Structure 1
Amino acid sequence: MTYPENFEQKIEFHKIRQYIIDQCLSTLGKERSESMSFSSSFDEIRRWLKQTEEFVRILQEEDAFPSDNFFDVRPMLKRIRIEGSWIEQQTLFELRRSLQTIHAIVAFLRRDDEKVPRYPELRALTENVVIYPDIIKKIDGILDAFGQIRDNASKQLADIRRQLTSTMGSISKTLNAILRNAQSEGLVEKDVSPSMRDGRLVIPVNPAFKRKIKGIVHDESASGKTVYIEPSEVVEANNRIRELESEERREIIRILTEFADYLRPFLPDLAVSYDFLAEIDFIRAKARFALQINAIMPSLENRPLMDWVQAVHPLLYLSFQKQNRKVVPLDITLDETNRILIISGPNAGGKSVCLKTAGLLQYMVQCGLLIPLKENSRVGIFRDIFIDIGDEQSIENDLSTYSSHLNNMKFFLKNCNEQSLLLIDEFGSGTEPQIGAAIAQSLLHRFNERKAFGVITTHYQNLKHYANEHEGVINGAMLYDRHEMQPLFQLSIGNPGSSFAVEIARKIGLPEEVIAEASEIVGSDYINMDKYLQDISRDKRYWERKRDEIRRERKRIEELSEKYQSSLDEISAQKKLILAQAKEEAEKLLSETNVKIEQTIRQIRETQAEKEKTKQVRQTLNEFKEKVAAADLNPADVSKTGKKVTHRTKKPVRVAESISAPFVLGDVVRMKGQTTVGEILEINDKKAVVAFGMIKSSVGLEKLERVSNNQLKKEQKKSSNTSDLMYEKKLNFKPDIDVRGMRGDEALQAVMYFIDDAIQLNISRVRILHGTGTGALRQIIRDYLRTVNGVARFGDEHVQFGGAGITVVDLM
Structure 2
Amino acid sequence: VNSILRRVLSNAISQGLLEPDTVPSMREGRLVIPVPPMHKRQIQGIVHDESASGKTVFIEPAEVVEANNLTRELQMEEHREIIRILTTIADSLRPSIPQITETAKIIYHLDFIQAKALYADAVGGLMPHLHDREELEWYHACHPGLKLSLEKHGREIVPIDVTLTSKQRILVISGPNAGGKSVCLKTVGTLQYMAQCGILPPVYENSHFGVFNDIFVDIGDDQSLEDDLSTYSSHLRNMKFMLQRGRKSTLFLIDEMGSGTEPQIGGALAQAILAQMNAEGLWGIVTTHYQNLKQMADDTPGLVNGSMLYDRQLMQPLFKLSIGNPGSSFAVEIARKIGLPKDIIDSAEQIVGSDYINLDKYLLDITRDKRYWENKRADIRRKEKMLDEKLERYTDDAETLRARRREILDEAKAEAKRILESSNAAIERTIAEIKKANAERELTLEARRRLKEERLALESNTDGQENSVLARAPKKKKTKHSIHSSTSSGITRQVEAGCNVKLDGQGTVGTVLEVSGKNAIVAFGNIKTTVKTERLTVTDAKPKEPKKSGISMATIDAGHQRQLQFKHEIDVRGFRADEAVQAVTYFIDDAIRFNAPRVRILHGTGTGVLRQVIRDYLSTVPGVMSSRDEDVRFGGAGITVVELQ
TM-score normalised by L of structure 2: 0.55
Distance 1:569 1:470, change over 3 A: farther
The yes-or-no answer on 1:666 pairing with 2:496 is no
Within a 5 Å distance, the mapping from 1:93-132 to structure 2 comes to: none
How many Å separate the matches in 2 of 1:460 and 1:203? 79
Per-residue CA deviation, residues 372-419 of structure 1 (Å, 9 max, x unaligned), is x5777846343343334456789789995675355355357x5124xx
For residue 161 of structure 2, what is the aligned residue in structure 1?
Answer: 332
Per-residue CA deviation, residues 136-183 of structure 1 (Å, 9 max, x unaligned), is xxxxxxxxxxxxxxxxxxxxxxxxxxxxxxxx9xxx99x99x99xx99
* 1:610 shift after superposition: 2.4
Distance 1:668 1:286, change over 3 A: same
Distance 1:367 1:227, change over 3 A: closer
How many Å separate the matches in 2 of 1:494 and 1:794? 50
Within a 5 Å distance, the mapping from 1:588-667 to structure 2 comes to: 588-598=418-428, 610-612=438-440, 616=443, 619-620=446-447, 622-636=449-463, 666=559
Within a 5 Å distance, the mapping from 1:386-785 to structure 2 comes to: 386-390=216-220, 400=233, 403-404=236-237, 406-408=239-241, 410-411=243-244, 414-417=246-249, 421-427=251-257, 432=265, 435-436=268-269, 439=272, 442-443=275-276, 446=279, 454-461=284-291, 463-464=293-294, 474-482=304-312, 487=317, 489-503=319-333, 508=340, 511=344, 514-520=347-353, 524-598=354-428, 610-612=438-440, 616=443, 619-620=446-447, 622-636=449-463, 666=559, 668=561, 679=565
Distance 1:342 1:276, change over 3 A: same
Distance 1:377 1:794, change over 3 A: farther
- Of the candidates 116, 127, 140, which is equivalent to residue 309 of structure 1? 140
How many Å separate the matches in 1 of 2:240 and 2:410? 86
Secondary structure in 1 matching 2:123: coil
Report if the CA contact (8 A) 1:342-1:474 is conserved: yes
Report if the CA contact (8 A) 1:344-1:457 is conserved: yes
For residue 797 of structure 1, what is the aligned residue in structure 2?
Answer: 633
Report if the CA contact (8 A) 1:437-1:460 is conserved: no
* 1:535 shift after superposition: 1.7
Report if the CA contact (8 A) 2:217-2:252 is conserved: yes
How many Å separate the matches in 1 of 2:387 and 2:69? 107
For residue 267 of structure 1, what is the aligned residue in structure 2?
Answer: 97
How many Å separate the matches in 2 of 1:397 and 1:685? 73
Name the aligned partner's letter for residue 140 of structure 2: V
Q: Provide structure 2 residue ranges, at least 5 long, that are not aligned to the other structure.
A: 51-55, 466-495, 499-512, 515-547, 573-582, 587-598, 606-628
How many Å separate the matches in 1 of 2:456 and 2:405? 24
Name the aligned partner's letter for residue 342 of structure 1: V
Report if the CA contact (8 A) 2:27-2:49 is conserved: no
Report if the CA contact (8 A) 1:476-1:492 is conserved: yes
Report if the CA contact (8 A) 2:125-2:203 is conserved: no
How many Å separate the matches in 2 of 1:377 and 1:633? 67
Report if the CA contact (8 A) 1:195-1:203 is conserved: yes
How many Å separate the matches in 2 of 1:198 and 1:483? 75
Per-residue CA deviation, residues 590-628 of structure 1 (Å, 9 max, x unaligned), is 3344445455556666x5x8244x864674355234312
Distance 1:365 1:221, change over 3 A: closer
How many Å separate the matches in 2 of 1:453 and 1:364? 18
Distance 1:408 1:330, change over 3 A: farther
How many Å separate the matches in 2 of 1:248 and 1:684? 109
* 1:363 shift after superposition: 1.9
- Of the candidates 123, 131, 137, which is equivalent to residue 295 of structure 1? 123
Report if the CA contact (8 A) 1:421-1:453 is conserved: yes
Per-residue CA deviation, residues 28-71 of structure 1 (Å, 9 max, x unaligned), is xxxxxxxxxxxxxxxxxxxxxxxxxxxxxxxxxxxxxxxxxxxx
Q: Provide structure 1 residue ranges, at least 5 long, that are not aligned to the other structure.
A: 1-167, 211-215, 639-646, 670-677, 687-697, 702-763, 766-778, 780-792
Report if the CA contact (8 A) 1:219-1:227 is conserved: yes
Report if the CA contact (8 A) 1:505-1:515 is conserved: no
Per-residue CA deviation, residues 171-219 of structure 1 (Å, 9 max, x unaligned), is x99x99x99xx99xx9x99x99999999999999998889xxxxx9655
How many Å separate the matches in 1 of 2:138 and 2:438? 101
Distance 1:598 1:407, change over 3 A: same
- Of the candidates 166, 183, 191, which is equivalent to residue 353 of structure 1? 183
TM-score normalised by L of structure 1: 0.45
Name the aligned partner's letter for residue 301 of structure 1: H
Secondary structure in 2 matching 1:491: strand
Question: Aligned pairs, how many?
Answer: 484
Distance 1:684 1:349, change over 3 A: closer
Between structures 1 and 2, the one with greater strand share = 2
Distance 1:556 1:533, change over 3 A: same
* 1:340 shift after superposition: 4.6
Name the % identity: 38
Secondary structure in 2 matching 1:383: coil
* 1:267 shift after superposition: 2.6
Instruction: Tell me: higher relative CO, structure 1 or 2? Use CA pairs within 8 A at least 6 residues apart.
Output: 1
Report if the CA contact (8 A) 1:342-1:463 is conserved: yes
What value does the CA root-mean-square deviation take over the aligned residues? 6.2
Secondary structure in 1 matching 2:326: coil
Secondary structure in 2 matching 1:299: coil
Distance 1:624 1:453, change over 3 A: farther
The structure with the largest alpha-carbon Rg is 2
Distance 1:600 1:317, change over 3 A: closer
* 1:528 shift after superposition: 0.4
For residue 504 of structure 2, what is the aligned residue in structure 1?
Answer: none
How many Å separate the matches in 1 of 2:29 and 2:223? 67
* 1:525 shift after superposition: 3.3
How many Å separate the matches in 2 of 1:199 and 1:460? 72
Report if the CA contact (8 A) 2:311-2:318 is conserved: yes
